[in-house]
A = this chain, B = another copy of it.
Amino acid sequence: QENFENDSYESNEYAGVVTGLAWTPVGGDILFIETLLNRGKGQLTLSGQLGDVMKESAMAALSFLKAHADLLDIDYRIFDQYNLHIHVPAGAVPKDGPSAGITMLTAIASALTQRRVKPNLAMTGEITLRGKVLPVGGIKEKILAAKRAGIKEIILCQKNRKDIEEIEPRYITDLTFHYVENAMEVLALALLHEQVKNPVHFVLQDEAKPNSSVVV
């Protein structure tokens, strides 16, 4: 009863929204990872009919960002005082697999920093807990779909370079590929230094003061 169509790249006006690439039995497609932070107690909500592997990808991306919050100038208290909701439309389409890992990483980081995502950028790649980027499948279909959707630059795992080299060059003129090995390279490429218009200002409470605190 639903009618689906191929989506187009939209814009980078929202913090927390990043374009990913999906493989489906009928060809590639782009998808949007949407994230929102709302005041709460640090709960993670995942929606959009995500399978277990995709949910675990989100959890790994979030843990990585918590562990490296300093490098991105993220106030750690956001993780305790805000809830994170990640949604992947279309809501009725089941999605799974690890290949949205770096897209979810970037979307969460953009939401946390309110930094604008590079325009006309898409990405696909698995993320591990230590921030390693792993290669994923379906590259050819994904790239063609990206081009069709108006994407200009694509971030991929270094180990997926060979998959690009197998595509006939005339199909991918006008596309720029960035090959990466770890999460920090992804974020350096994908997040602009400027914030979005009307960025959210996080209201953070002091943490309960202990008698004393020690660094070991």
Contacts and interface: CB of A to CB of B under 8 A. Distances in A.
Given A1-B137, A36-B63, A213 B209 contact: no
A60 B85 contact: yes
Nearest to A201: B215
Contacts of A47: 56, 59-60, 129
A52 B204 CA distance: 33
A158 interface: no
A63 B38 contact: yes
Given A56-B48, A87-B129, A23 B1 contact: yes
Nearest to A2: B137
A137 B3 contact: yes
A16 B67 CA distance: 12
A170 to B, nearest CB: 24
Contacts of A215: 201-204
B34 A130 contact: yes
B202 A213 contact: no
A92 B98 contact: yes
A57 interface: yes
A39 interface: yes
A47 B61 CA distance: 11
A35 interface: yes
Contacts of A86: 129
Interface in A5-56: 5, 14, 16-17, 23, 32, 34-39, 45, 47-49, 52-53, 56
Contacts of A57: 91
B49 A52 contact: yes
A14 B130 contact: yes
Contacts of A173: none
Contact of A126 (B89, B134, B204): B89
10 contacts: A2-B97, A2-B99, A2-B137, A32-B128, A36-B129, A37-B67, A49-B53, A49-B56, A89-B132, A91-B128
